[in-house]
Each structure stands twice: as C-alpha cells, then as structure tokens.
C-alpha cells in the first residue's frame, strides 16, 4: 500500500457515495454528525468566565469528534463495506488502497474538522480568548485525526463484523477516555496516564489554546513558550500515530475472513 498514491477525482466520487450511505442510515448519521456537535453546547452552558471549564469543553468536543465521526464511523463503514465485498471489488478497479481509506474517512474527517474549527468562534463569542497558538492547535487536531483514522483501520483488521465493532473498539476508547479522567488521579499514576493519546491530546489543547501549563488552569504560558511546553505531549501523540499507522499497514484486511 502506497500511502500517498491518491487521486482527488476518485476520492471525491467514492466519498460522495459514502456520504450518501452515512446519510441514509439514521443511527450512523446521528453518531457521525449529530453527536460530535453536542459537546460544543458545553461551551454554552459552562461558566463563561472560567477558562478551565472552556478548556474541558474544547477537549471533550475534540475527543468526541475524533471518536465518533472519525474512529467509530470509519471502523463501522470499513467493516460493513468489507463484509459486502465492496472493498474487494473496488480494489479490482483503478482505485488505490489509499483512495479507498481516505474516501471512507473523509465524511467523518470533515465533521471533525468542522467541529474543531467551530469551537473557535463559539468560544470567542462567549468571551474566551482565541487560541494562543492557532498553528499548534491545528497541528493537534490533524495529528489526532490521523491517529484515529489509523486506529480505525487497525481495529477493523481484527473486527469480524459490524456488530463486533462495539466490543473491539473498547480498547481504543478506554485509551482515550483514560487520559481525560486522569486529571483526578494522583501524580504517580498520572505519570503513566500522560502517555496515553487522550492525555496528550488534552494537554496539547490546554497548551495551544489556553496557555495552561501541565496540571494548571491558569494561563501562564506566552505564545513563545507554548511550543516548548507542547514538546512532550506532541511527541507522545505523534508516537501513537506512528505506531497506529504501522499496526494498520501491517494488519490491513480487505475481504471477510472465509
């Protein structure tokens, strides 16, 4: 599989069909489109003056955007299309493997990117500062989404069918949520949970947008400090992404187990 062997024309055609399919299945649509938009509402109901609450809302929004439209949706689409032998059929044509994966992921990626972008004007309107380091915030979103695309492909490899996906997606979900809830854990436990992708992503959001140092909810970082403060979580998140891509490429399966 060549990662960059893609054609925008083919991806557009395939993604169009995938959007149609997501829209036709009500449950899929709710999980892929409606659910990830909900956490943005947390920004509205949270304490307008507390940047700590706003940070939690943005982290939750981004996590939901990565988990539902990207991870769970891609996993279920991939497994369903594989069972229907659609993936095998497509691979007999001009489409490359990368075309197929990108087009399956694209509708969910658009939803996730929209959510991450919408969070900015909503937060600003509600009295929060715009992201301290927009580039770092954008990078956090991109690496996070790439990680979850790769996680979905890897999980699909050992998911027997669409029903089984509810179970097989648990390890990744736990890995993400663990980092989120870890703020309540004692320090010696958090040393380890900080190594989860969920914690790394949360740290990056706090640093890049709100200028929080690790564990703090006061803006102490200036723009120039934010890169250095982001170093460790960015390294953790990137390492997870590299690992996930490696695992996915190694285990990719395109037709149902016979």
Partner 1 sequence: MKSTLLSDTDHIEVRGLRRVYGTGDKAFEAVRGIDLVVGAGTVVALLGTNGAGKTSALEVVEGLARPTAGEVRVLGLDPVTDRAEVRRRTGVLLQTSGFPADLTVAEALRMWASTMTSPRPVADALDELDLAGRADVRVRSLSGGELRRLDLACTLLGEPDVVLLDEPTTGLDPKSRRRVWDLISALRDRGRSVLLTTHHLEEAEELADRVAIMHAGRIVREGTPAQLGADQPSTIRFHGVPALVGLGDLPGAIRVATRSGMTTVHTRDLQTTLHALLGHAAETDVRLPNLEAHNASLESVFLAIAAGDNDPDEPATSMEGATR
- Residues making contact with partner 1 (CB under 8 A): 9-10, 12-14, 16-17, 20-21, 24-25, 81, 84-95, 99
Residue 43 in contact with residue 123, Cβ under 8 Å? yes
Which one, 35 or 104, has the nearer CB to partner 1?
104
Distances (CA, A) of 46 to 43, 51, 54, 58, 122: 5, 10, 7, 11, 12
Least separation in angstroms between CB 6 and partner 1? 12
CA angle 240, 243, 248 (to 5 degrees): 120
Least separation in angstroms between CB 35 and partner 1? 20
Which one, 126 or 162, has the nearer CB to partner 1?
162
In total, the chain counts a number of residues equal to 258
Which one, 78 or 151, has the nearer CB to partner 1?
78
Least separation in angstroms between CB 53 and partner 1? 41
Which two structure tokens, joined as six digits, stand for 141?
A: 């979103």
Least separation in angstroms between CB 175 and partner 1? 30
Which one, 15 or 146, has the nearer CB to partner 1?
15
Least separation in angstroms between CB 93 and partner 1? 5
Residue 151 in contact with residue 242, Cβ under 8 Å? no
Which one, 84 or 163, has the nearer CB to partner 1?
84
Least separation in angstroms between CB 152 and partner 1? 18
State in Å, rounded, how far the first CA of the chain is from the last one.
Answer: 22
- Residue carrying structure tokens 């062997």: 5
Sign of the torsion angle spanned by Cα atoms 26, 36, 40, 16: negative
Distances (CA, A) of 233 to 70, 82, 197, 207, 222: 21, 35, 8, 10, 18
Which one, 86 or 136, has the nearer CB to partner 1?
86
Q: Going by C-beta distance under 8 Å and a sequence separation of 6 or more, which residues neighbour residue 234?
A: 139, 140, 143, 200, 204
Least separation in angstroms between CB 81 and partner 1? 7
Which one, 27 or 45, has the nearer CB to partner 1?
27
CA pair distance 178, 92, nearest whole angstrom: 41
């Amino acid at each position: 599989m060549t990662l960059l062997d893609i054609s925008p024309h083919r991806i557009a055609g395939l993604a169009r069909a995938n959007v149609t399919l997501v829209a036709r299945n009500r449950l899929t649509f709710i999980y892929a489109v409606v659910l990830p938009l909900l956490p943005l509402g947390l920004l509205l109901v949270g304490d307008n003056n507390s940047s700590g609450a706003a940070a939690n809302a943005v982290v939750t929004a981004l996590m939901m955007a990565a988990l539902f439209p990207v991870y769970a949706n891609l996993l279920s689409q991939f497994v369903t299309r594989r069972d229907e032998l659609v993936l095998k059929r497509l691979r007999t044509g001009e489409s490359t493997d990368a075309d197929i994966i990108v087009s399956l992921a694209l509708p969910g990626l658009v939803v996730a990117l929209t959510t991450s972008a919408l969070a900015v004007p909503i937060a600003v309107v509600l009295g929060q500062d715009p992201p301290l380091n927009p580039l770092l915030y954008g990078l956090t979103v991109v690496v996070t989404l790439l990680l979850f695309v790769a996680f979905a492909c890897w999980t699909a490899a050992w998911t027997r069918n669409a029903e089984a996906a509810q179970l097989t997606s648990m390890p990744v979900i736990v890995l993400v949520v663990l980092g989120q809830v870890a703020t309540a854990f004692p320090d010696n436990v958090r040393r380890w949970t900080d190594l989860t992708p969920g914690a790394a992503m949360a740290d990056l959001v706090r640093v890049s947008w709100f200028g929080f140092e690790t564990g703090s909810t006061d803006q102490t970082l200036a723009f120039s400090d934010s890169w250095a403060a982001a170093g460790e979580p960015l390294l953790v998140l990137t390492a997870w992404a590299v690992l996930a891509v490696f695992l996915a490429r190694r285990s990719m399966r395109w037709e149902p187990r016979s």
